[in-house]
Chains A and B, each alone.
Chain A
Amino acid sequence: MKALCWQGVNDLSVEEVPDPGIRNRQDAVVKVLASTTCGSDLHLLGGYIPAMRAGDVIGHEFLGEIVEVGPDVSRHKVGDRVVVCSFIGCGRCWYCENDLWSLCDNSNTNPGIAQAMWGYETGGVFGYSHAMGGFRGAHAEYVRVPYADQGAFPVPEGVDDASAVFASDAAPTGWMGADLGGVKPGDTVAVWGCGAVGQMAARAAMLLGAERVVAIDRLPERLDMTRRRIGCETLDYTATDVGAELRELTGGRGPDVCIEAVGMEAHDTGPQHWYDKAKQMTRLQTERPAAVREAIHACRKGGSVFVLGVYAGLADKFPLGAMMNKGLTLRGAQMHGHRYIPMLLDRIAKGELSTGHLATHTMPLDEAPKGYDLFKNKKDGCVRAVFRPAG
Chain B
Amino acid sequence: MQRAKTAAAAATAAAGAGAAAWWLKSRSGAPENAERWLVVTVNRPPGELAAGLAPAPLARLPEPLAELGDDIVVEVRPAPGGKGTELAARLRDPRRAGVVDRVRGNDPRQQVRSALRDAKSLLETGEVLLPDLPTTRPTPVGEVLELATRRAGGEGRL
Contacts and interface: CB of A to CB of B under 8 A. Distances in A.
A130 B135 contact: no
Interface residues of B, number: 48
Contacts of A54: 136-137, 139, 142
A52 B16 CA distance: 10
A92 B43 CA distance: 7
Interface centre among B11, B126, B136, B142 (most CB of A within 10 A): B136
Contacts of A282: 11
Interface stretch (B49-57, B58-66, B88-96, B117-125): B117-125
Contact of B129 (A8, A97, A107, A116): A107
A120 interface: yes
Contacts of A92: 43, 124-125
A282 B156 CA distance: 27
Contact of A24 (B22, B23, B129, B134): B129
B26 interface: yes
Contacts of A130: 145, 148-149, 152
A56 B120 CA distance: 28
A116 B132 contact: no
B69 interface: no
A26 B141 CA distance: 33
Interface in A255-288: 281-283
Interface in A1-25: 3, 5, 8-11, 15, 17-18, 20, 23-25
Nearest to A146: B129
Contacts of B9: 8-9
A26 B130 CA distance: 11
A390 to B, nearest CB: 20
B140 to A, nearest CB: 10
B131 interface: yes
B135 A136 contact: yes
A130 B132 CA distance: 11
A120 B157 contact: yes
B83 A94 contact: yes
A53 B142 contact: yes
Contacts of A144: 132
B75 interface: no
A53 B146 contact: yes
Interface string B71-99: 00000000000011000000000000000
A5 B124 contact: no
Interface string A88-130: 0011111001000000011101111111110111001000001
Contacts of B15: 47, 50, 283
Interface residues of A, number: 57
B5 interface: yes
A51 interface: yes
B19 A106 contact: no
Contacts, number: 158
A265 B158 CA distance: 32
B153 interface: yes
Contacts of A311: none
B156 A93 contact: no
B130 A23 contact: yes
A50 B16 contact: yes
A57 B23 CA distance: 25
A245 interface: no
Interface in B18-55: 18-19, 22-23, 26, 41, 43
B40 to A, nearest CB: 8
Contact of A17 (B43, B135, B145): B135
A147 interface: yes
A247 B23 CA distance: 44
Interface centre among A50, A72, A146 (most CB of B within 10 A): A50
B153 A109 contact: yes
A251 B153 CA distance: 53
Nearest to B79: A94
17 contacts: A9-B5, A9-B9, A9-B12, A11-B5, A25-B127, A26-B126, A47-B8, A54-B137, A55-B137, A90-B129, A94-B43, A110-B152, A112-B23, A115-B26, A135-B131, A147-B125, A147-B129
Interface of A: 3, 5, 8-11, 15, 17-18, 20, 23-26, 47, 50-57, 72, 90-94, 97, 105-107, 109-117, 119-121, 124, 130, 133-136, 144, 146-147, 281-283
Given A50-B12, A90-B125, A93-B124, 7 more contacts: A17-B135, A26-B126, A92-B124, A113-B148, A115-B155, A136-B132, A282-B11
